[in-house]
Structure 1
């Protein structure tokens, strides 16, 4: 039976816009190709910035975990709240933090910032997966400890 994904609470959503909520940061930049016809950063680019931060974070806490082979992370959920316009040129700072550790999953929150303005927040779930078997696995203790530092 499928259950709808929980919606972020107002207090969680508000805290994701606060730069001080993050201790892990990834830097990216707005590319000219990220723009839509109106000169704004396109919504697809927002997802790419989230991916950049998420993969960097996953690799920092478990090197090799995003290779797509063996055992590693699989993203199963991505919710993005678009909060402000972003423009070219610019630098994007991606804050990432752990919101919850489950048995085999990790829920992360992210904030996308440009010039100290939060232009988007994201709520994602990654599952620790045996790629060949196509099934989830419990988080190893060392990974749980590494991820727990960012709760």
Structure 2
């Protein structure tokens, strides 16, 4: 991901939300620690899901929609206090899984990138995405993955 410079541009992302950093997120060097950064990525994904599926449907599905693969690049240091602008785009979709690209930005700089492939887990196996979720993801639309 970090070898795709356009992913470091906030305008690439179809969905955006502001996320606060917390005092408890700081490490001993007064930087937002890596675990907290991973949590910011997860929160960005969750907020997109809430926006796409609605609260009741998303909360009903949290047990079944699971990351199948996660890749994170830590690019810059995030600081407390200060919000992080998170962007999320859908970069691949098929009946069994989808991939979200997430970018975190603070003070105009891209501080982190993540790609998360998500699948539907049911009764101990990966299954097709439920029709409602697939439809909402299709309507949200793919963001072109610039080469």
Query: TM-score scaled to structure 2, two decimals?
Result: 0.84
5+ residue gaps, structure 1, are 1-7
SS at match of 1:65: helix
Q: How does 1:1-151 map to 2 (within 5 A)?
A: 8=1, 10-11=3-4, 14-63=5-54, 64-67=57-60, 72-130=64-122, 133-148=123-138, 149-151=140-142
Report which of the two has the higher share of helix: 2
Cα 1:96–1:150 change in 2 (3 A) is farther
Count of equivalent residues: 139
Contact persistence 1:26–1:52 (CA under 8 A): no
5+ residue gaps, structure 2, are 143-147
Please tell me the root mean square deviation across aligned C-alpha atoms, in Å: 2.0
Q: Provide the rounded CA distance (Å) in 1 between the counterparts of 2:34 and 2:79.
A: 12
